[in-house]
Amino acid sequence: MSKILELEELDVNLYRSKYLRKPVHARGVFGGHVVGQALVSATKTVSPEYKVHSLHSHFLLAGDNTVPIIYEVQLLAKQHGRGIFTCTISFQRPEKSQLVHQYVMPDVPQPESIPSWGEVYSKAKDMQDLPDRFREYLALRYEEPLLIDVRRVSNMDPKDMVEPKALPPRQLMWMRATERLNGDPSIHHCVLAYCTDHEFLDTSVLPHAVSAYSPDRQLNMIVSLDHTIWFHADFRADDWLLYEMESPYAGGGRGLSFGRVYTRDGLLVASIAQEGVIRANISGPSDEKLFVSAPITEYTPAVIPDRRRAAKL
C-alpha cells in the first residue's frame, strides 16, 4: 500500500508520481490516489514535529494514468503542462486540549463477521443473467491488487449494481490497508487520505436507484470536484477503521457527502467532506422528485474514548 504513494524527488519542492491507479471503467486516475500523493509531497517539505490537521483539495481535470503527475508544492499538480489538481494542506504542532467532544461511533458488526470485497466478487462471477459489461467489470476488479480490505456493513448483493434499489443516503464500512505499515504517523495519514475517496461520493446517489450498469437508470458520470479532510487524532491505517458516510443533499448535477472515521474502539480520528458531479440517464418520466431523509447522527455528549488510548505508533 505505501509503495503506491511513493514519489520521486525531482528538485526542491518538486515530486513525480511512480504509480497511478485508474479504477476499472473509470474516466481517470482514482481521486484518493492523487490526494494521498499530494499529502506525501507536502509532508516531505515540513519539519517532523508538525502533523497534518486539515487538507482541502480541488479536482480541476481528470488525471491521466499513462503519464506521471508532477506535484509542485505550494503550486499545482500538473499533467501535460496543465494544472489538474490543487491542494492546500495545514500542519500543526500537537497540543493538549481541555475542550474535547466527539460524535459516538455507530454500533455495527465487527469486520471479521463481514465478507470482504474479494469474497463478494468471487461469488458474483458465478451468478447468472448478468450483463457482459458488468461481468467484465467483476473480472477486472477481481484481478486488481488488493490494497485496501473493505467490508461493507450493509452487504451489497452484486446484482444491486445492475438492478439498484432506492436506499437512504448512508453507508458504513470497515477498511484497513492490507500491508503492515511502519510507525511514522504521516504514512498512516497519507494512506487514510487515499482510502477516504472509496465509495464516498456514491453515497449521494443511493436514494436514486441508479448504477453504471443499469440499462434503464444509468449513472453516466460521478466525478470528484473537491475533497476535504480534517485529522483529529493519531491512528493506524493498517488497523480496522470504521468509515461512516452520509449525504445531506444532491441537486444541480452535484452530490454532497460527509464522512467520519473511527478507530475500532470508538475514537473519532478524521472528518471528511466531498462534492462531486453526478449525472444519470433515466428512461421514462422525469426523476426530479425530492427524496427526504432524516438526519443520520444525533449529537450525544456521552462517554468519549480516552484519547490516550489512540493508536500506539
CA of 198: how far to CAs of 103, 243, 272, in Å? 22, 10, 12
Start-to-end Cα distance in the chain: 17
Q: How far apart are CA 247 and CA 285, in angstroms?
A: 24
Q: Give kind and range of the element (H or E) at residue 278.
A: strand 268-282
Active site residues: 197, 224, 274
Which grid cell is 78?
500538473
Residue 88: strand, helix, or coil: strand
Which grid cell is 59?
479536482
CB-count burial class (<10 Å; 0-12, 13-18, 19+) for 246: buried
